[in-house]
Structure 1
Amino acid sequence: MEITLNKTNNTEGLIKIKLTEGDYQPHVEEKVKDYAKKANIKGFRQGKVPSGVIRKMFGKSILVDEINHLLSHKLSDYIKENNLKIIGDPLPNQEQANSIDWDTQKDFEFEYQIGMVEDFNYEISKNVKVQGYKISVDNKVLEDTLSDLKKRFGKVSYPESVEFGDNIFGDLRSKEGDFKKEHAFIASEKIAPGEQSKFIGKKKEDEVEFEVNSLFADPKELDMLLGDSIPDAKGTYVLKINTISRTEPAALDQELFDRVFGKDAVTTEEAFINKVKETIGENYERETNHFLEHHIEDAFLNHTHINIPDSFLKNWLKVSSNGQVTDDVLNKEYNDYVRGLKWDLIKNKIADDNSIKVEAEEVRNKAKDLIIAQFGGQAFAEQLKDRMDAIADNYLQSENGQNFMKLFNQLKNEKVLTHIKNNITIEEKQVTVDEFRKIVEEHTH
């Protein structure tokens, strides 16, 4: 057997494998004997079928299977032994393979096109500076959150007539045209000030006429009312009121504290407000951390040069997708795919260089945390304490092991990003919620 690599450039090459009869024939003969022992062929006792009969009936398929099996292992071994950093999978020369005469040919030659990644360098040091943000929980945000909680957990009543702040439910239709919507919902506090008087004081079964594009100050509210099917609604609409609901805000008392955070988690108004503020901060921290990771990705991609075998990669994506990836798809999505590929290559190299590993027990513990969170928290964990390992193992083995790999990759990604954050300079800036929202909206890769 002879295996050679011909590099056409630094990122693409051709692996050639030459086989002689002595390379594959012993494997073929072993398989023929195995067939002879197991074959159930009319006219012969099981286990007594002559090898010549087996060769005549199954010889070609045995030969093809054994050569393909041999090629697969030798190709994989060659790539590992020569530390070739390949992208995708080797692509066989199909035209060459189709020209093989399996009936008479004794020696064979196979070609595989490969794409490779050159070794590259990245920088992790305090000289690498990335912008981060910290959202301040100001009094307005706190007051809005407390107001929302009191309303969400408040007492609901169903009055006879509409007052400001009530929710209005009814059947909506256009006066001209065929638009109709049952169970429409309008929050009276969202109605534009100039339109409020049309609704205040109205009762069940009353009909309210209004110019639809003047109803709300915020256009998003109109989209929610009508749906995406009518992007430029105009004209007069009519709402027939079916139900009016009013929520009396909950008091800042123990009942509210328990409903929001669990029984006796907090027992005073001051502790409740501090807990709300802490929770808001944690939620904002998740948002800013996610955005920080986008900036880290940008920084490394912008300052790390990686040569990608574009020609091979595009061909491999089309061949391996069973027709799902076309030239049109590549034109639209290839740059995003390469961006993700490069970021994965950088993270994997950082992990290798810094011996960042994920142990199986860490994956199992992560699975248990997910299961506990999904099925009711620590109370659930206590009930099934002795069975949690088995439940987690069953979850990780399902989906053909995909659940394991998903959590494994998630943990590895978290460890790599933690390593990066600990070793670069994050220039944190204090911003308000509105400022942060604007920054996120304007951000592009």
Structure 2
Amino acid sequence: MEITLEKASDTNASLNITLTPADYKPEVDKKLKEYGRKVQLKGFRPGHVPTSLVQKMYGKSILVDEINAMLSRTVSQYIRENKLQVVGDPVPNRDQADAIDWDNQTEFAFSYTLGLASEFDIDFSDLPSVTRYDIQAGEAEVSSTIADLQQRFHSHTHADEVGDSDTIYGELKQVNTPEGAEAFAAKTAFPMAQMADDAKGQFVGKKKDDTITFLLEQAFPDEKARANATGVKKDEAANLTGEFTFTIDDITRHEPAELNQEFFDKVLGAGAVDNEEQLRVKVAEIIQGNYARESDSLLRLDIEKNLLDNTPILLPDEFLKNWLLEVNEGKFTPEQIDEQYDDFTKSVKLQLIKNKIADKADIKVEFEEVLNVTRQMVREQFGFMGGENEEMNQTIDRIARNYLMDEKNNGQNYTSTFNRVYDDKVIEYAKTQLTIVSQDVTVDEFKAMAESR
């Protein structure tokens, strides 16, 4: 076998492979013998069909299959062993392949066009610093969060008259009934928050035992809200229109929870705090902890941008555009490829950079790491707790393994989880090599920066 790489430029090359009988014949002969033992042909005992006849019947297809398999292995192995920065897939010279005379040739030549990324290196000491934003929860944010919690842990009171956020209970009756139909009537509840704003004025201020006449479809134009208000299915609610009366039996109102020990215990757990000042401190810590995840996400984006902006890489643009058109089989026009090409090349370059970092730092991902991440995903998704419960841990492990090994999606679950773990390890390593500068910001300042990204 002869393999040569001819580089036309930093980003374009041809990989040429020549195969002689010594390369493929041993495997082809082996396959012919296997066929000879298995093939059943009238007039011959099983396993005694002459080799010449097997060759005539199956020789060509076996030769083609074996050479195609050999080419696939050879191309992949050459790229891997020579650490070529290949982008896209190797593209075979189809005219050359179509011209092969499989019946008479014994030596075969094949050529593949390769798209290459230009050579580059990563020197973290030359890269600018990246800012980590430490989000500080201000008094307004803490007060707003506590107010939301008071609403969440609200209490119910009976109101004297209807307010625009109350729930009113009573009897709903249809005024004008279609001919031959029975008038609709039901005991139900109207959440005022779901009522159309321009209809609320008919109800706000009304008291117990008052009766309001109104158009149902105006009060609840959304069919889902109308179904909720009438207690019927959505498709049935669509037919409920026209004048209705509603006689109020009761009015309930959500009152924000009082800032007392019962509220503190519900929010943070029994005995965690015993006054409002301590509550505010804890809530500030929780807010900062929640935003820390968002801060980490922004830091990740900024690290990736830093690596992209400061690592020049040339790509074979014409090759890649043609390759994208071909692999997407008419799903995109050349104009659409051009429109999305910049985003595509950014993802390609970023992956090349991450692969270079992983190679230099000897970053690897083991199966157990992928499994551990999946186990944690299962715990979070199903609300399972970790700990010493062996039966529960075995259940989690079984679900995680089944998810990773699901054959229905051709291993995509494992691949996507592996890539996520790999990506996380590369970014974590980059954090140890880059200069990270911390900066305190308010929640509003952080939101503005995140939106600008």
Relative to the length of structure 2, the TM-score reads 0.77
Q: 1:284 to 1:50 in 2, by over 3 A?
A: same
Please give the residue correspondences for 1:46-445 in structure 2 after superposition, counting only pairs within 5 Å.
46-125=46-125, 128-156=128-156, 161-166=161-166, 187=193, 200-202=204-206, 206=212, 246-252=253-259, 256-257=263-264, 259-260=266-267, 264=270, 266=272, 268-269=274-275, 272-378=279-385, 382=389, 383-398=391-406, 399-443=409-453
Q: 1:12 Cα deviation (Å)?
A: 0.9
Alpha-carbon displacement from aligned partner over 1:230-277 (angstroms, at most 9, x marks no partner): xxxxxxxx999989763222334565456545x648363455544432
- For 1:230, the equivalent position in structure 2 comes to none
Q: 1:107 to 1:157 in 2, by over 3 A?
A: farther
Contact kept in structure 1, 2:363 and 2:425, CA below 8 Å:
yes
| One-letter amino acid matched to 1:119 | E
Q: 1:259 to 1:54 in 2, by over 3 A?
A: farther
Contact kept in structure 2, 1:253 and 1:269, CA below 8 Å:
yes
Q: 1:388 Cα deviation (Å)?
A: 3.9
Alpha-carbon displacement from aligned partner over 1:3-33 (angstroms, at most 9, x marks no partner): 1111111111111112223332222211111
User: CA–CA distance in 2 between the matches of 1:191 and 1:273?
Assistant: 35
- For 1:24, the equivalent position in structure 2 comes to 24
User: CA–CA distance in 2 between the matches of 1:102 and 1:184?
Assistant: 80
Contact kept in structure 2, 1:381 and 1:388, CA below 8 Å:
no
User: CA–CA distance in 2 between the matches of 1:266 and 1:79?
Assistant: 60
Q: Percent identity?
A: 40
Contact kept in structure 1, 2:405 and 2:414, CA below 8 Å:
yes
What secondary structure, in the 3-state scheme, does the structure 2 residue paired with 1:125 have? helix
What secondary structure, in the 3-state scheme, does the structure 2 residue paired with 1:353 have? helix
Contact kept in structure 2, 1:24 and 1:67, CA below 8 Å:
yes
User: CA–CA distance in 2 between the matches of 1:361 and 1:351?
Assistant: 18
User: CA–CA distance in 2 between the matches of 1:189 and 1:441?
Assistant: 33
- For 1:228, the equivalent position in structure 2 comes to none
What secondary structure, in the 3-state scheme, does the structure 2 residue paired with 1:91 have? strand
User: CA–CA distance in 2 between the matches of 1:380 and 1:301?
Assistant: 42
User: CA–CA distance in 2 between the matches of 1:336 and 1:136?
Assistant: 33
User: CA–CA distance in 2 between the matches of 1:247 and 1:13?
Assistant: 72
User: CA–CA distance in 2 between the matches of 1:239 and 1:122?
Assistant: 73
User: CA–CA distance in 2 between the matches of 1:101 and 1:200?
Assistant: 89
What secondary structure, in the 3-state scheme, does the structure 1 residue paired with 2:109 have? strand
Contact kept in structure 1, 2:203 and 2:212, CA below 8 Å:
no
| One-letter amino acid matched to 1:341 | V
Q: 1:97 to 1:134 in 2, by over 3 A?
A: same
What secondary structure, in the 3-state scheme, does the structure 2 residue paired with 1:378 have? coil
User: CA–CA distance in 2 between the matches of 1:422 and 1:106?
Assistant: 56
Relative to the length of structure 1, the TM-score reads 0.78
Q: 1:254 to 1:373 in 2, by over 3 A?
A: farther
- For 1:233, the equivalent position in structure 2 comes to none
Q: 1:241 to 1:70 in 2, by over 3 A?
A: farther
- Unpaired runs of 5+ residues, structure 2, are 173-188, 226-241
Q: 1:82 Cα deviation (Å)?
A: 2.4
Q: 1:433 Cα deviation (Å)?
A: 2.2
User: CA–CA distance in 1 between the matches of 2:122 and 2:252?
Assistant: 60
- For 1:35, the equivalent position in structure 2 comes to 35
